[in-house]
Amino acid sequence: QVQLVESGGGVVQPGGSLRLSCAVSGITFSSYGMHWVRQAPGKGLDWVAFIRYDGSNKYYADSVKGRFTISRDNSKNTLYLQMNSLRAEDTAVYYCAKVGVTDGWGYWGQGTLVTVSS
Amino acid sequence: EIVLTQSPGTLSLSPGERATLSCGASQSVSSSYLAWYQQKPGQAPRLLLYGASSRATGIPDRFSGSGSGTDFTLTISRLEPEDFAVYYCQQYGSSPFTFGPGTKVDIK
């Protein structure tokens, strides 16, 4: 059974930092690229970042470039998103995902809510 | 950045009817790297199609996709009650891997 479990969300003041984690089980984590996707309350999906299976390449949305860092620890089967200089517009549910566009097997976590507010 | 548009914004149909959803790209999507997702309230998205027309694992054959370049279509041949949801397209040919704004399919 495949599981992706996000943690680390919460309430943070503007300008603050949070680190999200995504623990993955049931798949060979080290074989797959992974994404972070967010969804503001009542809004659509917003792609945030992607990291290749071995961490060799990372890609970011323009809105988070320079503020967010995606990383992974294949020995711990865990994906991370370090979020700095948070803004109110970063408020969203953050999902980690193996979206499945290379093999048709897509898996998403349940999401973790990040609220940026003073 | 490739900007995706989806039409219509809302599609009101009855069970058993055919649904046709469109996704347009501001520039050509390389190698038809276009995916479709379904999302129901309170749930994470679910991959339906990738490579514009390949069904993801476990997706019924009433879902089909077509298109290339800048114009893509998701067709649901006969709507089942569980198909009423929001549908998103995403291009993954070039970073940033943008999503469209979504089409809501609701019950007429």
B53-87 residues labelled b (16+ CB within 10 A) or e (exposed):
bebbeebeeebbbebeeeebbbebeebeeebbbbb
Q: What percent of chain A has pLDDT over 90?
A: 94
Q: pLDDT digits over A50-68, tens only?
A: 999 999 999 999 999 999 9
At residue B31, the pLDDT reads 80
Spell out which residues of chain A touch residue B52, defining contact as CB-CB under 8 Å: none
Cα-flanking dihedrals φ and ψ of residue B12, to 5°? -105, 115
At residue A104, the pLDDT reads 85
Beta strand A45-51 with A58-60: parallel, antiparallel or unpaired? antiparallel
Cα-flanking dihedrals φ and ψ of residue B37, to 5°? -125, 155
Spell out which residues of chain A touch residue B23, defining contact as CB-CB under 8 Å: none
At residue A54, the pLDDT reads 96
Spell out which residues of chain B touch residue A101, defining contact as CB-CB under 8 Å: 33, 35, 47, 50-51, 92
Q: How confident is the model at residue A28 (pLDDT cuts 50, 70, 90)?
A: very high
A53 CB neighbour count, 10 Å cutoff: 15
Q: Across residues A5-11, what is the average pLDDT?
A: 98
At residue B3, the pLDDT reads 98
DSSP state of A65: T
Angstroms from B63 CA to nearest CA on chain A: 14
Cβ within 8 Å, pair A59-B47: no
Q: How confident is the model at residue A77 (pLDDT cuts 50, 70, 90)?
A: very high
CA distance A22 to A79: 5
Whether the per-residue pLDDT at A3 is higher than 90: the answer is yes
pLDDT < 50: residue spans in chain B: none
At residue B30, the pLDDT reads 87
